[in-house]
Amino acid sequence: MGLNPVEYPKCGAVEFKGSVFTLPVLHLHSVDLRVVVEGLARHLAKGLRFFEGAPVVLDLGAVRGQALDLVALNEHLRAQDLVPVGVRSADPEQQAQAREAGLAVLQGGARIEREEAPRREPDSLPLAKVVEQPVRSGQQVYARGGDLVLLAPVNPGAEVIADGSIHVYAPLRGRALAGVRGDTAARIFALSMEAELVSVAGHFRIFEEAPPGSVHRRPAQIYLDGERLVVRALDPWKDPAHSI
Amino acid sequence: MSEIIVVTSGKGGVGKTTTSASFASGLALRGHRTVVIDFDVGLRNLDLIMGCERRVVYDFVNVIQGEAKLKQALIRDKHTPDLYVLPASQTRDKEALTKEGVGAVLDELREDFDYIVCDSPAGIERGALMAMYYADHAIVVTNPEVSSVRDSDRILGIIDAKSKRAEEGEAPMAKHLLITRYVSERVAAGEMLSIDDILELLAVPLIGVIPESESVLQASNAGVPVIHDQATVPGQAYADVVARFLGEDKPLRFLEPEKKGLLKRLFGT
Ligand SMILES: Nc1ncnc2c1ncn2[C@@H]1O[C@H](COP(=O)(O)OP(=O)(O)OP(=O)(O)O)[C@@H](O)[C@H]1O
Ligand SMILES: [Mg+2]
């Protein structure tokens, strides 16, 4: 039996094309693997389906100059269904280790993300997606290319996602992820802030108990100030901003 | 024009079958021709609660698979003339419930009955999806505790996404919330969710509250749905639910702890 001749695609076998992705960034605050793995397991146990199988970038900014076993960490993360693709803010030692673990060494961070964020052309502004029914446990609503406006509650276990900002004119009790394609100017607004998780442009926080006391069950907004997520009451003249 | 009502919950053991039996009996007691179908293939127990387990010959799956005629499988209730039971199979697997098969049986039942009550199994698997797929009304049964409320929320979302009405863009299914196993003392002590908490989260109109009561278990053991005993609190509460479903205005009762009379306070009970 003869071999079939290989058919070459007309445009060549492979081709490089630029494409912009926003990846969740996992900030390491400890080099103790046990602490990291347990902390992560606790987060994932809360059922964050959004991160299942997700590529993540490890930010080592807080542990620069400390010895870290990246090969072992890589394996632990994969066991938790995360796919580490690279590190950033790593010191030279850590960079060498990263290459050994098969991870890319990425430069910079927020600055690049901001430049790559999709620019909103005034004439192509998509209409906000408006949802009038409650978003219930297990449901997911995604507003592609624009804002998401919700006129009924987002219940625990529900997920609302937007490329732009998210506005909830009702209690926000589930998870809200704004700017998921990298718009760092996206914000989350809710008339009653009771979220389980919030994220802006891949920077996320989980509220294990409840959002910080001063905004819990109150009108509040969440936005990015540089690398920091900030939560603030919607009557800001009465209430200072809190990093969260 | 007949109407299909699914009794569903998500979480198991909250009182769906108890409710299906009393609700269907209540509709029949008011003279409506009613059939109640057990969708819990493999775990049937509607026939036990209705007290007709010894008369099961053919079941729902037999009818779907063409092994028996619908008339052969329907069991006439011994307490109420206008009520029939379509039992589930004890042995078949759930895959036997196909969309076409269930639809065909429901269409045939529509010709004879005013109300078709579907007792859903727990969970969000095929049995539960088939029980709610063709329904016009959903009675969502919830206990006053966080996990039960969360599962009811989940089922409400699935109804809005996966029912025939949703798929075909018809008017949405009418939804009714029924809180069962309610213990006013425990609500007052903060150990159970209050009715207001549940309503705020689920945002579905309340059709009734059934207090926790020993008489429910006694009724199931006797094989007589509790609504037949109008001396009991759950019996009266279920009768109120049926009345509200039929459009009557009935204020909620049995929400406050029972006040002990002087004799009871003196001598205890
Ligand atoms: N109001 C009530 N007071 C006391 N016990 C109750 C009440 N309602 C239901 N029960 C009891 O709770 C148990 C479960 O009830 P039932 O079988 O109706 O639930 P179900 O939701 O149909 O369960 P499954 O999910 O297994 O089908 C039974 O033992 C029943 O007697
Ligand atoms: Mg049951």
Whether residue A217 sits in one domain with residue A135: yes
d(CA B28, CA B85): 12
User: Both A97 and A192 in a single domain?
Assistant: no
Tens of pLDDT, residue by residue over A63-115, are: 888 888 888 888 888 888 888 889 988 888 888 888 888 888 887 544 434 44
* Model confidence pLDDT, tens digit, residues A212-243: 767 888 999 999 999 899 998 887 666 666 66
- Note whether residue A114 is domain-resident: no
* pLDDT exceeds cutoff 70 at A8: no
Residue-number span of the structural domain to which A227 is assigned:
127-243
* A138 to B154: CB separation less than 8 angstroms, yes or no: yes
What is the structure's pLDDT at A7?
57
pLDDT of residue A180: 92
Q: What pLDDT is stored for residue A214 in this prediction?
A: 73
Complex ipTM value: 0.77
Average pLDDT, chain B: 94
- Mean of pLDDT values over A8-22: 64
- pLDDT recorded at residue A117: 47
Are residues A134 and A60 part of one domain? no
Q: Is B210 in the pocket of ligand 1 (CB under 6 A)?
A: yes
One domain, residues A82 and A157: no
The alpha carbons of chain A give a radius of gyration, in whole angstroms, of 20
Please report whether residue A2 resides in a domain. no
User: What residues in A contact B157, CB-CB < 8 Å?
Assistant: 135-139, 158
Share of chain B above pLDDT 90, in %: 89
Residues A87 and A148 grouped into a single domain: no
pLDDT interval class at B269 (50, 70, 90): very low
pLDDT at res. A48: 55
pLDDT (tens digit per residue) in A112-142: 344 444 555 555 666 799 999 999 999 999 9
Mean pLDDT of chain A: 81
CATH number of the domain that residue A58 is part of: 3.30.70.260
The chain A residue lying nearest B203, using CA atoms, is A134
Using the beta-carbon criterion (under 8 Å), do B157 and A138 form an inter-chain contact? yes
- Any CB–CB contact under 8 A between A172 and chain B? no
pLDDT for A5: 54
What pLDDT, on the 0 to 100 scale, is given for residue A125?
63
Does position A183 have pLDDT exceeding 70, yes or no? yes
Q: What percent of chain A has pLDDT over 90?
A: 34
Count of domains forming chain A: 2
Per the domain annotation, does A121 fall within a domain?
no
pLDDT value for A64: 86
pTM value is 0.74
* Model pLDDT for residues B87-103, shown as the tens digit of each residue: 998 877 778 899 999 99
pLDDT at B79 over 50: yes
Q: Is A170 on the interface with B (CB under 8 A)?
A: no
Q: What does the block give as tokens for A4?
A: 């079939």
Question: Does A238 lie in the same domain as A150?
Answer: yes
DSSP readout, chain B? --EEEEEE-SSTTSSHHHHHHHHHHHHHHTT--EEEEE--TTS--HHHHTT-GGG--S-HHHHHTTSS-HHHH-EE-SS-TTEEEEPPPSSS-GGG--HHHHHHHHHHHHTT-SEEEEEPPSSSSHHHHHHHHT-SEEEEEE-SSHHHHHHHHHHHHHHHHHSHHHHTT-SPPEEEEEEEEE-HHHHHTTSS--HHHHHHHH---EEEEEE--HHHHHHHHHTS-GGG-TTSHHHHHHHHHHHHHTT------S-SPPPPPHHHHHH--
CATH number, position A180: 2.160.20.70
Are A14 and A69 found together in one domain?
Answer: yes
Check whether B173 has a pLDDT greater than 70: yes
For the stretch B38-53, pLDDT in tens is 999 888 899 999 999 9
Q: Are residues A48 and A91 in the same domain?
A: yes
Task: Say yes or no: B158 contacts chain A, CB-CB below 8 A.
Answer: yes
Mean pLDDT of B146-170: 96
| Residue B23: per-residue pLDDT | 98
A217 interfacial to chain B (CB closer than 8 Å): no
What pLDDT sits at residue B36?
Answer: 98
User: Separation of B156 CA from ligand 1 center, angstroms?
Assistant: 20
